[in-house]
Structure 1
Amino acid sequence: MRIFLSLVILFAAAIGLAVGARFNPGNVVFFYPPYRVDMSLNLFIVLIALLFAILFAIFNAIRTTQQMPQRVAAYRREKRDREGNRALRDALKALFEGRFGHAEKAATRAAESPENAGLSALIAARAAHRIGRPERRDVWLGKVQEDPSLKTARLMTAIELSIDGHEPDAALDAMNELNASGTRHIHALRLALKANQRAKNWPEVLRLVRMLDKRNALHPALSRRLKEMAYEDLLTHQAHDAESLLRVLSTIPAEDKTRPFVAIRAARALSAKGLHGEARSIVEKALAVEWDERLVRAYGNSAGAEGSAELLAQIERCEEWAKSHPGDAELELTLGTLCLRQKLWGKAQRHLEQALSDAGESETVREAHLKLAQMHEALNQPDQAAAHYRQCALSTML
């Protein structure tokens, strides 16, 4: 339809021009002595139009010729960009497919385009790392330093790859540079947590775990396990004397101190340093929050000196717990052990035999028989002591 309308308009214009030219009596005369040129006005108009068209074509050809180098350069640049973008897509596709060698080669081609050089280098660094070429990985990461807009991406990539390559020192160096730039998003915190865990920097691990817990960015089970690992190292390996141990304990939040794992490790460490009172205090507070048989055993291991008021207070406290936790074999064993230490023979025998009756674990049975054997030895009853020693040995073999 559009072609038909165009033809109609064209024919109408041609007819109009023909009719106008037919009734145009004008004449144009050019004098250049001794010459004279006469022509009709219609011919003159046609010649002027042709001259204009020719001049326009000549000037357009000149301008096009002058612009030819720029056009060739633009064409080559566009071609290079198209090839670079295609190579970048190929590199990403190969990286996701796990074809890391092909990904690095494609990224090398893509890096020829200045716009894609930085991202291509990051892809190539990841690919080189996956095929076990850390030296090439570092070379590619070094090339990204030339692009300040990719600083965060480069540092995040360097941290992640260093952690994966078991290079915690390099990861922490990159993390310090990242922190200096003010970047603290959740993924960066997770990577920092992994790096400090690999470096066994447990105080920093605890700090990062608390930060991620506030943002609900860490699974509760993982958070609990990391705290346990950190507290175990802090309380077992870094507390070399009583003063350093108390200093470490002062940095632990009260909520964490009442958790069974932390309380048990703290009680053991305090008892080993001779701080039995502090150990009993921590265990008592933890048991008030959550009842745990392991805490009860740790409470017995932090017993006071024989005949002391602290030991009597422990026995009274255990007797109170026994009223609210009847049938607890570990509690009966602990109470019997404390009574044995205080030389309350009757109470000790009753509680130890009750522990044997309620025990469900071989370790509890073995410990109860051992304590009964020691009691009978102290009472000069060798036959009963020997019988319990035999039972203790049999429970060890089971």
Structure 2
Amino acid sequence: MKALLTFVLVASLAVAAGLAIEGVDGYVVFVVPPWRAQLSLTLFASLVVATVLVLYALLRLGSSLIALPRSLRNRREAWRLRRATHTLSQLVRAHVLGDVVRVHRLADRLSRYPDLSEAGAALATVTALDRGDESRAENWLARLQRWPDVRAVLEAEFGARCARPERLHAAMERLAELRGLPEATALRLRLEAAKREERWQEVLESARRLRALEAMDASETAALIRQAHLDDASSRLSLGVDLAAWWKRLPKEERYDPAFLVSLARLALDRGQGTQLRPILENALSKCWLPELVRLYPYCVEPGARQEALVRLEAWRLAHPEEPAVLEALVELCLELQLWGKAQDYLSQLRRVGADPAVLERFGSRLRAGTADRDGATLSAPRGVLE
């Protein structure tokens, strides 16, 4: 449309110019003694216009010829850039699809393009680290010369994944000197280093900060925090420190983590210090109902507090009448207290709610053994005692 409008405009101007000079009778005389030349004004104007056009065309041609080498160079660079961009896109695709052989082949091809060679080397390094290929990772890391921050991060990844603590520490020192590194990246690498060396307090601090930044998967963060707390609890159990006071100081979302509570209870029971868990379990079960904790509750009660614990379990049964875990705990506690009648009643209720047959068989065996011992003791008692 633009070309058509330009053509119409030029044609209109040409017609207007022709009509304007059609009635002009003037002439132009050039005198160079002894010569004299006379031209009509129309011819002179046409020659001037033609001369201007020819000069313009010659100037354009000359400038084009002068700029031709640069133009060809730019076109060649544009073609190379398109090829490099296509190679990079194929490299990213191969990396996502997990085509390791193609990743390394494309990264090697991309090394011919200086502007994008670092990107190819970085992706190839990540792929090699994911596959545990140390030699290839080393080779690609050596090519990362112009991206010191990326190289330091990948060096730290290499040290963490390949169990090279000296490389990890050296990379962490370089990262501490770098400016502009994202906080989440530095925290993640610090967490990897601390986890590798089992410095769980540092793991805890880094994981909490990453959770606040929403820079790590929530389940992974929770697992790390849980592991750090369990390590701390293990140390406290070894030292005989009050576990309940420590547990109450934990943040609420970490204190009532179901997986953490179950693991903590099992840890204390394995260490033979289940009685320290009783106030923790009672507090936790008042806030969040966890059947697995209820099953472990009888094993955390000291002998002198079993009657009190039985009353608490019966209150829980009223609140959760169809919960097998409460009935299992009641049967266990009644067997410990040698309340055979109550144990029989709760075992019958447990059968009605459809408990695990193996659990029913185990409780039934213990109940039969207990009642048999009681009957045997009664039959063997002296006559005076029976009277």
Where on the TM-score scale, by shorter chain, does this alignment land: which range?
Answer: 0.5 to 0.7
Answering whether residue 313 of structure 2 is matched by residue 321 of structure 1, we say yes
Farther-moved stretch of structure 1 (66-75 vs 235-244): 235-244
> Cα distance, 1:230 vs. partner?
5.0
Separation of aligned partners in 2, 1:268 and 1:17: 110
Distance 1:273 1:157, change over 3 A: closer
| CA displacement 1:30-85 (0-9 Å, x = unmatched) | 24xxxx33222558777777776776666666655554543443333233223323
Gaps of 5+ in 1: 306-310, 341-347, 385-398
> Cα distance, 1:146 vs. partner?
0.6
Answering whether residue 8 of structure 2 is matched by residue 10 of structure 1, we say no
Separation of aligned partners in 1, 2:268 and 2:183: 37
Partner of 2:383: none
Separation of aligned partners in 1, 2:257 and 2:89: 51
Partner of 1:304: 302
Structure 1 counterpart of 2:366, from 367, 370, 376: 370
> Cα distance, 1:28 vs. partner?
1.8
Farther-moved stretch of structure 1 (65-74 vs 188-197): 188-197
Partner of 2:345: 354
Separation of aligned partners in 2, 1:273 and 1:199: 24
Gaps of 5+ in 2: 381-387
Separation of aligned partners in 1, 2:373 and 2:212: 56
| CA displacement 1:247-277 (0-9 Å, x = unmatched) | 9757644554455554454445446666565
Distance 1:221 1:315, change over 3 A: farther
Separation of aligned partners in 1, 2:53 and 2:315: 115
Partner of 1:344: none
Distance 1:339 1:161, change over 3 A: same
Structure 1 counterpart of 2:330, from 329, 332, 336: 332
> Cα distance, 1:285 vs. partner?
1.7
Task: Kindly provide the amino acid, as one letter, of the partner of residue 331 in structure 1.
Answer: A
Separation of aligned partners in 1, 2:197 and 2:120: 30
> Cα distance, 1:125 vs. partner?
3.8
- Count of aligned pairs: 360
Separation of aligned partners in 2, 1:93 and 1:255: 40
> Cα distance, 1:349 vs. partner?
2.7
1:27/1:39 contact within 8 Å kept: yes
Separation of aligned partners in 1, 2:132 and 2:273: 51
TM-score (structure 1 length as normaliser): 0.63
1:332/1:352 contact within 8 Å kept: yes
Distance 1:139 1:58, change over 3 A: same
Which structure 2 residues correspond to residues 252-291 of structure 1 after superposition, within 5 A?
252-253=250-251, 256-258=254-256, 261-270=259-268, 277-291=275-289
Identical pairs, percent: 21
TM-score (structure 2 length as normaliser): 0.65
Partner of 2:75: 75
Task: Kindly provide the amino acid, as one letter, of the partner of residue 39 in structure 1.
Answer: A
Which structure 2 residues correspond to residues 159-238 of structure 1 after superposition, within 5 A?
177=175, 181-184=180-183, 203=201, 206-207=204-205, 210-211=208-209, 231-232=229-230, 234-236=232-234
